[in-house]
A = this chain, B = another copy of it.
Amino acid sequence: MGLPTDGATPGVDGDSVNAEQVEEVLDRLREGGGRATTSRRVLLTALFEEGPHRTAEELAVEVQLVAPDVHLSTIYRNLDELERLGVVVHAHLGHGPATYHLASETHGHLVCEFCDAAVEAPEEFFAELMDAASKKYNFAIDPRHFAVLGRCAACAQLPATN
């Protein structure tokens, strides 16, 4: 899924490109009896931007650059709502806070227990495991919503102690 590099603002922000998608989600929200508020528009804009996985707090900071009064609890409530809508998913990477990203970016995570580095792995990477779990345990794995922990290449060289 390459981003279109057409008319305006080719690089970082790409606002006019994403604005469409933002409004699309807001429309869906309205269809369900919800309302298109500033905080939701700004949050969605942030989510549709390129970037690493972000925690609710990090998203709040981003949103507050544009709309300073948006409260962290509103971010949480909106993320919840968007998750219900299927627009975003959250994942627990290691010990810290949950991170949120667009549901369209489906991938699993390999997270290093030592340095917290996260490697993204495509859904296919888990296909075999998903298949085996389905057959053996009748269990439908959702690879998007969890982190597989271990040691990244760099930390594998560290001594086992610590």
Contact = CB atoms under 8 A, between A and B. Distances in A.
Contact of A133 (B110, B140, B141): B110
Interface string A119-138: 10100011011001100111
Contacts of A145: 113, 149
A150 interface: yes
Interface residues of A, number: 31
B133 A148 contact: yes
A54 interface: no
A17 interface: no
Integer count of this chain's copies in the complex: 2
A48 interface: no
A67 interface: no
A162 to B, nearest CB: 9
A148 B153 contact: no
A128 B128 CA distance: 8
Q: Which 3 A-B pairs have the closest CB atoms?
A: A138-B153, A141-B150, A140-B151
